[in-house]
Each structure stands twice: as structure tokens, then as C-alpha cells.
Amino acid sequence: MALDVAAMRRNFPIFAHQPPPFHYLDNAATGQICAAAAEALTTFETAGRANVKRGVYRLADRATQAFAEARERMAAYLGATRPEEVILTSGTTFGLNLAAHVLEARVGPGDAILVSRLEHHSNIVPWQMLAERRGARIRALGVTEEGRLDLRDLEAAIDRRTRIVAVTHCSNVTGAVTDLAPLVARARAVGALVVVDGAQRVPHGPLEVASLGCDIYALSGHKMFGATGAGALWIRHDLLETLPPFLGGGEMISRVTIEESRYAPPPHRFEAGTPPIGPVLAMGAAADWLAGLDWQAILAHEKRLTARLIAGLEALPGLRLIGPRDLDDRYGVVAFEVAGVHAHDVCQLLDGFGVCTRGGHHCAQPLMDAFGTVATVRASLAPYNDADDIDALLEGLEQVIRILR
């Protein structure tokens, strides 16, 4: 069955507040908030606001219960075996930094941490900082000409000195989906842990994260049509039990004396202080709403739009695509550059046509270096996009190219 985009858009308040033309194609940066998430956020902040975990009055008890239910909703959406595997964070960046700190004792001088040239800076910089603290080395997987991870020589890339493999599940520049299976298999063979940046994957339907074989999976709520300021970090339970806390403070302890502290069990030992309660409730509501959608129809719709976009871009003069042309194992994130024109200028002029795109290095400078550029324009799709959005972008680009070249 074809996706009813008009009905889908009624789930997103933004479309009732933006005058036409409005073609939002910056979903890889942040998705629009869905009505279910917006309602959860507003209801908490205006009718149910109280701190969580220790209050014994009714308002606080309801907030604590709602917070626990949000964790359960995220666990269900991720396919976690139990809610306690889900640490609630402020987003992917915080989650990956948390992972880099709690895994520090597992890395020593001369050890290796493997990243890739496809990564967002959030999945490079924390590991560089860890390597510097521990005297370890950073290695990097390369990328193919079409913008996918180059997995041809994993035995050399992941050897017995490798302690951590940190890779993206879906590139925020090329849209390429990583084949995690060979990476996980090789990491298992040498005793390395696998950390996955799932920020760009989670908007595309429920996961079975346990079956991926990874040890840690990070995500952001605002990418999956929730509020900004919330995220989640899934850690395999038997690993989670062995890890030390990251931040110290309230809520992450069971007993504190002047001399020492005893830490709370997971996930609470990793959630110091007052959490982002409203955004977490919104993220849980978004996960619950997303889980009920017809993903077969949505993904088929997105694939058709991606094909339309790629074909249209390839027909334009002086334009270079960065990323796969084929539609298999990729999502609707498409980056390109216009010869002789800076991406910011392209995006600024496109805004005059009501088209919202992103220009820059997309926090992926090693990938820009690999492709010999400093910046690209990026269009990224969501279930509320349609053919009109694609056509508006292509028609706008025709005129932009005519103006700037």
C-alpha cells in the first residue's frame, strides 16, 4: 500500500505553522517533532512537572512512572532484552563520550581503537581523546569510491591489539548502511568491543539491537522525531554490569559517606543528576508512535524518493554526487557539490525557494578529505517528504546553478 503523505504530515505540527513553500530536507540534522512527542513534552512541562526517582508525593510519583515507561518504550523500540540495558542520555554525542570514558580501563599503551573515515566527529573525537589518555593508537577504515566502508582487509585492520571498533550504522553524509556482521565477527575473534553510532538509523524503524552483535549502540531522540536534548545508550547487559560510572552526583549512588561511595546498579549509576525528563518522555512517545507505523510502505516510499532525487541530480550540469547511486543498503541521505560554488551559497539560495538543506562538512571532515572537498550540500528525507519536495529542490538547483555558475 502506498504511503499517505498528507495523513503522515498531520502528525507533525510544523506543517501547520510554516507558510508555503516549505520543503524540509534537513532531516539528518534533526527531524521535525511528531505530535505524540510534542504532546508528551508539553503535558509534562505544563501539567506534570516534578523531579523523578525520589519524590513520594503523587505528582513526583507520576513523573517517575512516566520516566520509567519512556525507558521501557525505548527498550522495546531497540529490541533490547531488558529496559535496564538502556541508559537515558542527552543525545548521541553524550552517549559516545560516556562509552569512551567507561571503557577506558580496557585500553592500554600500544593498543588500537578502530574508527572509520565515514564517521561523524562524535564517533572520532572521544576515541582520539581516550587514545591520548591511554597511549593507544587510532586506526581508520577507508571508504570506497561510492562512499561505503571499505571492509576488504578486516584481518589487518582489526588485530589482537584492537580493543574497540567504533563505526556508524548509517552515514550522515552518504546514507550508506554499514554491514555490521563482518566487523562484529572479526572483533569477536580478537576480543574487541563494537560501538555503533545509530543516530541516522533510528528514524527508519524499530531495531533488534541484540541481533546486531554489537556491544554498545548510541542514538538521539531528535533524529527520531522527538524533542532535542534526549538520547539513549544501549549497552549489552553482561558488559554493563562490569562498567564504572561516568559522572558523579545525585541519583547514581546507593550510599555516600565522606570516605567513599557505593554506586547504584545499572542503568542508574550512569545517570547522575536530574535527567532531561521532558525530552526523554517525548523520545519515548516518539518511539512508541514510530513502532506502530507501516515501515514497509514508508521505506518503499523513501526509496522511490531517493531514486527520483539521485536521477534528478545526475542530470544537472557541474554537479558531483557523494555517495552510492544504488538504492540497496542505504537511506535517503544524499550529498553533492556544485563545481566552483560553496555549499553554503547553494543552501542560502535554495532557502529562497522554500527548500531547507544543509551545507558544510556535516561534522565529517575525514570523509570530506577522502573525497577531496571541504563541504557538500546535503538533502535528507523523512516519511513526511514527497515528490513535490524533491522537485522543488531540483528546480531550485537549476536556477541556483544558472545564477552562480
Are the C-beta atoms of residues 252 and 270 closer than 8 Å to each other? Answer: yes
The DSSP secondary structure of 26-45, one letter per residue, reads BTTT-PPPPHHHHHHHHHHH
Residues 6+ apart with CB under 8 A from 215: 193, 194, 195, 235, 236, 239
Q: Which of 8, 19, 22 is nearest to 393 (CA)?
A: 22
Q: Which residue type, as a one-letter code, is found at position 16?
A: A
- E-assigned strands of 208-330? 216-220, 231-235, 253-256, 261-263, 319-322
Catalytic residue list contains 363: yes
- 12-39 burial, b if ≥16 CB within 10 A, otherwise e? bbebeeeeeeebbbbbbbbbbbbebbbe
Distances (CA, A) of 240 to 4, 233, 316, 374: 42, 11, 50, 39
| Backbone conformation region of residue 317, classed left if phi is above 0, alpha if psi is from -120 to 50, else beta | beta
Catalytic residue among 34, 170, 214, 363: 363
Helix pair angle (92-102, 125-134), 10° resolution: 20
- E-assigned strands of 75-198? 86-89, 112-116, 137-141, 162-168, 193-197
CA dihedral defined by 31, 33, 34, 39, rounded to 10 degrees? 160
Identify the DSSP state of 373. -
Q: Which of 116, 198, 92 is nearest to 369 (CA)?
A: 116
Containing 387, the helix (H) or strand (E) segment is helix 387-404
Helix pair angle (58-78, 277-291), 10° resolution: 40
Distance CA 212, CA 193 (A): 13
Which residues are known to be catalytic? 363
